[in-house]
Amino acid sequence: MSEAVRVENITAAYRKEPVLRNVSFALPQGRLIGIVGPNGAGKSTLLKAVLELIPKSSGNVEILGSSVRSQKKNIGYVPQRGNVDWDFPTNALDVVMMGRYAQIGWLKRPSKKDKALAVEALERVGMKEYADRQISQLSGGQQQRVFLARALIQDAQVYFMDEPFAGVDATTERAIIDLLKELKEKGKTVIVVHHDLQTVTEYFDWVLLLNQRLIACGPVEQTFTSELLQKTYGGRLSFIQQENLKI
């Protein structure tokens, strides 16, 4: 079985500052994987570079053993919620349907089947009653769940999620993590940019530590150690924080 993601020597830069320096790693299939690192470590940039959404200066990426371009239909992506204008004139169902646009194809409109799939995806995130709701009238957690439903409807093999837990309420966080675990049980690979160190061991079974360079990548038990975390966060990880982590 090939790896879910294989990255060789990715380097990406904004203007002149490199954000990612020679990052290489391989991620196995069927795992729930956390990408962890301090602010400015390049976590979101890594996702975008892997998905070829930003130009990368160098490097090679394979997803499920072949090029990213050829695997787009097997890739599900959940961008950061803050990136979009939530006052956009559309409703929850419509946003979820966007996950089907690639399958629907050019010049065609969504069919009844697409609509049924979108309703089903909303139901899976507990948002069926909100299908007709204008998206600005949803709470932050609900917006995040709509984004998740939009990725679910893609029925992908590998999911990339950029901070899905940022700014959501506890109920939503619970609902999301349950769903991610369910995806993993179905053999999907779920890769999540995450910033809450407290929950890493509880949520993920594989972790990638990043601070512009790759610090470590492997099973949580071996990788999420105080030594490697210290290396990732440098002086920014306070002693108290370390005490609180159940390592």
Partner 1 sequence: MQEWLQFLSSPNLQWVMAGAALLGLASGVVGSFVLLRKESLVGDAMAHAALPGICLGFLVFGRETLALMGGAALTGLLAVYAIRAVHSQSKIKQDAAIGIVLSVFFGFGIVLLTMITNGSYSQSSGIDEFIFGQAASLVGADVQILIASALVLLILSFLFFKELKLLIFDPLFAGGIGLPIRFLNALLSSMVVLVVITGIQTVGVILMAALLITPAVTARYWTDRLGVMAVLSGLIGGLSGAVGALLSSTISGLPTGPVIVVTATAFFLISFLFAPQRGILFRMMETRKNTQFVLNNFLLDTMYEKLEKRYAAGQYSALFSRRELEEQTRLPRNGLEKTIQALQKQGLLTQTDGKYVLTGTGLAYAYDSSLLRRIQDIHLTHEAELGSWKEASANGDLRKPRDYLMNERIHSLLTAEQKLPVSLAIKQSSIEYADQA
- Name the site residues for partner 1 (rule: CB under 8 A): 48, 51-53, 69, 72-73, 75, 77, 79, 83-85, 88-91, 95, 98-99, 101-102, 104, 106-107, 109-110, 134, 139, 141-142, 150, 154, 160, 169-172
Q: Is 198 helix (H, G, I), strand (E, B) or coil?
A: helix
Cα torsion angle, 170, 141, 183, 49, sign: negative
Q: In angstroms, what is the minimal distance from the CB of 174 to partner 1?
A: 9
Q: In angstroms, what is the minimal distance from the CB of 152 to partner 1?
A: 13
DSSP 107: T
Of the two residues 52 and 185, which places its CB atom closer to partner 1 in the complex?
52
User: Chain centroid to CA 132: how far?
Assistant: 26
Q: In angstroms, what is the minimal distance from the CB of 239 to partner 1?
A: 26
Of the two residues 37 and 79, which places its CB atom closer to partner 1 in the complex?
79
Q: In angstroms, what is the minimal distance from the CB of 83 to partner 1?
A: 6
Write out the DSSP string of 134-176: BGGGS-HHHHHHHHHHHHHTT--SEEEEESTTTT--HHHHHHH
Residue among 166, 168, 170 at smallest CA distance from 140: 168
Of the two residues 34 and 141, which places its CB atom closer to partner 1 in the complex?
141
| Cα(162)–Cα(176) distance, integer angstroms | 13
- Tokens describing residue 156: 């992908």
Q: In angstroms, what is the minimal distance from the CB of 85 to partner 1?
A: 7
Of the two residues 98 and 228, which places its CB atom closer to partner 1 in the complex?
98
- 10 Å CB burial of residue 44 (0-12, 13-18, 19+) is middle
